[in-house]
Amino acid sequence: MMVTLKRFCARVVFSIFGIWLLGVLALGCSGGGGDPGQEAEGYDTAAARVAAQDLVLGSNYSGNYEIYCMAQDGSNLRQLTNDPAYDNWWPRISPDRTKILFYRTPAGEDGSYVLADLMVMDADGANQTLLRAAGDDGWAMQAHAEWSPDGDELVMCGTANEAVHLFVTNNRGTEVRQLTFDGTWNCDPSWSPDGRRIVFNRCAGDCGENKANLEIFSIPLSGGQPTQLTRNATADYDPYYSPDGQTIAWLEHTDPSQWCIGDRCLGTWSIRLMNSSGSNPRYVIKDEQINSKPAWSLTGDRIFFHRFEPAATPSRWRIFSIQPDGSNRADIDPFGSGQSEYPAN
């Protein structure tokens, strides 16, 4: 979960209990915007779809965070949300590409999972619908919601106390089922393409200084004993299966001692790959910069991510793509200023 690092670059890191926390096939991704207070009461399938060649992303280019749609080369940009009362971020496209999941927080509080509402909207930005309000079920935070491969369920992490756990709900955010019970940290979940397993990060024992014991695990959807996939001396975040299920991309806090501001250090962050069994770990990009949140293309031939170069002028988060072998890195950011984050295809 790169939100803490990301928001520290933009303003300040916040934490929970000492752990860093917290185009178109038919009508197209045209700018929209519905009633953000509408309750989730049987929303209809929209005709609009996000095209397979399009991305969604978040940016504060307009002054507060909004969600946009664009082609994979950064062209054909369209704004989907437009509400100055809220920051809107973390867009995730449903498998049928008719819906977009996202979080909203009061303006100026982007990245705060403590204050986050989980929302869904049509692919064109219409019918913005509240799924889970901040504090539902007594949770102190909610984070990292992801669609199941069939679109019928969501997986996310949440907590009502110091232990962060994985939960599965239906696609309306109700009928909550807890998946982990170890009393520690479990977050950053996503699904295997066959829908049978969840991959996530968890503290392997004491999380340790710089959360170096935060490792990648997988667990059957039915629950049970998780399988540890990484064993290294770095903190690991944001694991995602490739479309064919053979590979997992994830985010590594490679060197926590770099890019320091006072007594806080941003560190360098890298994107890695491994086989789905945890074997053959290798780097996609490791270049002493801050690379975040890998997102696979639908065809598996590219990885989208956002990137921060602290020494650049001006320094800001921008959207990039790269091939899984680390070649052909491309800056595809559509904006000339502002922070651009969370690309998803």
pLDDT at 111: 77
Q: What is the mean pLDDT of residues 183-193?
A: 95
Q: What angle do CA 83, 84, 88 make, to 5 degrees?
A: 60
Confidence of residue 18 (pLDDT cuts 50, 70, 90): very low
Of 68, 14, 154, 112, whose CA–CA distance to 335 is shortest? 68
Of 105, 139, 137, whose CA–CA distance to 3 is shortest? 105
**What is the C-alpha to C-alpha distance for residues 336 and 339, in angstroms, rounded to an integer?**
10
State what percent of residues in the chain have pLDDT above 90: 78
Structurally, at CATH architecture level, domain 3-344 sits in 6 Propeller (2.120)
Beta-carbon contacts of 262 under 8 Å, excluding residues fewer than 6 positions away, are none
Distance in Å from the first CA to the final CA of the chain: 18
10 pLDDT above the threshold of 50: no
What single-letter amino acid sits at 93? I
Q: Helix (H, G, I), strand (E, B), or coil: what is residue 247? A: strand
**What is the C-alpha to C-alpha distance for residues 143 and 146, in angstroms, rounded to an integer?**
9
Whether the bond between 314 and the residue before it is cis, its omega within 30 degrees of 0, is: yes
pLDDT digits (tens, 9 = 90+) for 308-343: 999 999 899 999 999 999 999 999 999 999 999 999
Could you identify the residue written with the tokens 């038919």? 26
98 pLDDT above the threshold of 90: yes
Cα 210 to the chain's mean position, in Å?
21
Its pTM stands at 0.89
Confidence of residue 47 (pLDDT cuts 50, 70, 90): low
Confidence of residue 35 (pLDDT cuts 50, 70, 90): very low
7 pLDDT above the threshold of 60: no
Q: Is the distance from CB of 257 to CB of 278 less than 8 angstroms? A: no
**What is the C-alpha to C-alpha distance for residues 81 and 34, in angstroms, rounded to an integer?**
8
Report in angstroms the alpha-carbon separations of 113 from 7, 79, 118, 264, 279. Answer: 12, 23, 10, 21, 32
**What is the C-alpha to C-alpha distance for residues 304 and 295, in angstroms, rounded to an integer?**
5
Higher pLDDT, 96 or 38: 96
pLDDT at 211: 84
pLDDT digits (tens, 9 = 90+) for 286-296: 999 999 999 99
Q: Is the distance from CB of 265 to CB of 259 less than 8 angstroms? A: yes
Q: Is the distance from CB of 168 to CB of 179 less than 8 angstroms? A: yes
Burial of 184 (0-12, 13-18, 19+ CB in 10 A): middle
pLDDT at 14: 29
Whether the bond between 189 and the residue before it is cis, its omega within 30 degrees of 0, is: no
Name the DSSP class of 3: H
- Can you list the alpha helix ranges (DSSP code H) found in the chain? 3-10
What is the residue-averaged pLDDT of the chain? 88
